[in-house]
Chain A
């Protein structure tokens, strides 16, 4: 038997011998490291999500009617909408574009609601050719729709079993229209839970011909700063507001920053608590085992040998708790992300090192004091004991 295997063996025996205490330490360390992992995972995946959303907007300007609903937050951080729906006239926007001299690609959007099998689902009227140009990231499984066909978001597939090629009866208010779903679109954003209908058809069904609820515009940034272009366009559109789309992303970034700060504080407090509890438990253990330590010294164990044995114990606990904390943290992160942010936080392997690192650091930092006392312990006194 090699020395290293023997070391592992006796450390394991000692841990099993003090089962209760080992479990307590493991639980504390696991909890601390899982919390750190979970918070890290949540904040990283949220940040990635926000960054993706901001990047994803092909359009850089958005024109909305003045009293339109204001959506707070974006993507995963959506907090709802305020206000009543309002609409813009298509012609007015086109005229304003022509007169202001702002050039760029644009797409019209009309948001509405239709009923499918008795359930209200959001729908959006778009010109598919425009959308296709402006949103190159849309992945369509199936075909882009021809007239009389619709495009379903990928989340609808799961919820309402909408598949490409299916025929459905959609109810707009009073009328029922039968349409074929030509394809399913995956964009990774909000588009996934709405149904896309040809714009003129939706306008007709909603009784709002020529009206839209939003215009997205990809203004050429080469023609000057976006802010100026937005202001220029604004002058010709009195009943609407022109905004830079990036603003939306910026707000959610700020919000995310605050949430992260809060998380960081909580993690710090938890780590300090866990660290002190580990230190307490460890030093009790060392006190209890002082006779054993004295004996090992009397048998010829050098101070270094004993340090090795006890830090190996802390190491084993730390690694074990780190792996456990990683898995538990992944679960917690999934739960938090789903219930609070309505998003998914995937388990990232690089956080294994974070989890193990945190619990190792705690275990070792907590055992510094006890290890020092192991180092100094006088074999004669500890052996005399009773």
Chain B
């Protein structure tokens, strides 16, 4: 299977601090990769680089064949809207828009807003009854599901999760994870997810462990 992500010698340093030591990573199309490590181990930096939110200090990073290091600022924005969906730990929903409108916002940046499609996406994540609610009126798990709907609305090939279950209790975590697996089985996108929850890592196909900016260990989880 073709690789969706291919990095070679990827580094990122902030001044003297080296957040990411040279990293070679290859993620095949459709894989669910989990990145584990302590805080400050460089896993969030890696995720930002993969999502085109940040630029590497050295090395190359190819996502679906395009070298992100060579893209302009607007090129990166285009890359983010077309190829990537991001799920945040803090959900980051726009507080003054309803769940539906939050999803449509993503459509707006991508192309044109389409209400029917956004509603369908929210129904798919089980929020058909909470379309008109603001984020403040939703529980953490529901907010995270809105976030997922928003991330997948533009059919990205790559879904990035930055500790998506960090703020959730056990029950919601399971629900969100099940939802993610279901969606992946339907849409066949790849997932790169950062977490330090061993239980969450077990949902993925492969786990890499990072420490101090280095890849220290790699293990393949048994597929359920």
Interface positions of A (Cβ within 8 A of B): 1-3, 6-7, 9-10, 13-14, 16-17, 291-292, 295-305, 379-380, 383, 385-386
Q: Name A386's closest neighbour in chain B (CB-CB).
A: B90
Give, as a whole number of angstroms, the nearest-CB distance from B121 to chain A.
Answer: 14
Q: Are B113 and A303 in contact (CB under 8 A)?
A: no
Write the chain A residue with the least CB distance to B151.
A299
Question: Once the chains bind, are A301 and B77 in contact (CB under 8 Å)?
Answer: yes
CA distance A379 to B48 in the complex (A): 10
Could you say which residues of chain B place their CB within 8 Å of the CB of A304?
A: 74
Beta-carbon contact of B108 and A6 below 8 Å: yes
Quick check: A296 and B74 within 8 Å, CB to CB?
Answer: no
Q: Which B residue sits closest to A14, measured CB to CB?
A: B96
Q: In the bound complex, what is the Cα–Cα distance between A60 and B9 (angstroms)?
A: 95
Q: A303 vs B105: C-alpha distance in the bound complex, in angstroms?
A: 15
Contact A13:B101 (CB < 8 A) given known A2-B112, A300-B110, A380-B54:
yes
Chain B residues in 8 Å Cβ range of A385? 90
Q: Which of B57-65, B78-86, B194-202, B208-216 contacts A (4 or more CB under 8 A)?
A: B78-86
Name B53's contact: one of A10, A14, A16, A380 (CB within 8 Å). A380
Inter-chain contact B77/A383, CB cutoff 8 Å: no
Kindly list chain B residues whose C-beta atoms are within 8 Å of the C-beta of A6: 104, 108, 112-113
Q: Is the CB of A292 within 8 A of B94?
A: yes
Q: What residues on B are CB-neighbors of A379 within 8 Å?
A: 53
A383–B74 CB distance below 8 A: no
Q: In the bound complex, how far is the Cα of B80 from the Cα of A298, in angstroms?
A: 7
Q: A299 near B109 (CB under 8 angstroms)?
A: yes
What residues on B are CB-neighbors of A301 within 8 Å? 77, 81, 109
Contact of A303 among B73, B81, B84, B112 (CB under 8 A): B73
The residues in B between 86 and 127 inclusive whose CB is less than 8 angstroms from any CB of A are 86, 88, 90, 92, 94-97, 101, 104-106, 108-110, 112-115
Q: Are A300 and B112 in contact (CB under 8 A)?
A: no
The answer on a CB contact under 8 Å between A13 and B97 is yes
Contact of B77 with A302 in the complex, beta carbons under 8 Å: yes
Looking at B77, B84, B88, B95, the one whose CB has the most chain A CB atoms below 10 A away is B77
Residue B51 interfacial (CB < 8 Å): yes
B96 with A291: CB separation less than 8 A: no
A299:B80 contact, CB within 8 angstroms: yes
List of B residues within 8 angstroms of A303 by Cβ: 73-74, 77
Task: Report yes or no: A295 in contact with B104, Cβ–Cβ below 8 A.
Answer: no
Distance from B167 Cβ to chain A, minimum over Cβ atoms (Å): 12
Residues of B within 8 A of A298 (CB): 51, 53, 80, 86, 92
Whole-angstrom distance from the CB of A18 to the nearest CB of chain B? 8
A309 smallest CB distance to B (angstroms) = 10
Complex: chain B residue closest to A3, CB-CB: B112
Q: Are B53 and A299 in contact (CB under 8 A)?
A: no
Is the pair B88, A383 in contact by a Cβ cutoff of 8 Å?
Answer: yes
Closest CB-CB distance, B55 to chain A, in whole Å?
10
A166 to chain B, nearest CB (A): 67
Contact status of A299 and B106, CB under 8 A, knowing A3-B112, A13-B97? yes
Complex Cα distance, B86 from A364, in Å, reads: 33
Contact at B77–A300, with CB atoms within 8 Å? Answer: yes
- Further contacts, 9 of them, CB under 8 A, given A6-B113, A299-B86: A3-B113, A7-B108, A13-B97, A14-B96, A297-B77, A297-B80, A298-B51, A379-B53, A383-B92
Smallest Cβ-Cβ distance to B162: which chain A residue: A383
Q: Which 9 A-B pairs have the closest CB atoms?
A: A300-B81, A17-B96, A302-B77, A300-B80, A301-B109, A300-B109, A295-B92, A6-B113, A1-B113
Determine whether the beta carbon of A1 is less than 8 Å from that of B96.
no
Taken together as a complex, chains A and B put the C-alpha atoms of A10 and B109 apart, in Å, by 13
- Provide the bound-state CA to CA distance between A10 and B81, in Å: 19
B residues within 8 A CB of A380?
48, 53-54
B96 contacts A305, C-beta separation under 8 Å? no
Please, how many angstroms separate the alpha-carbon atoms of A9 and B78 in the complex?
A: 23
Q: How far is the CB of B86 from chain A (nearest CB, A)?
A: 6
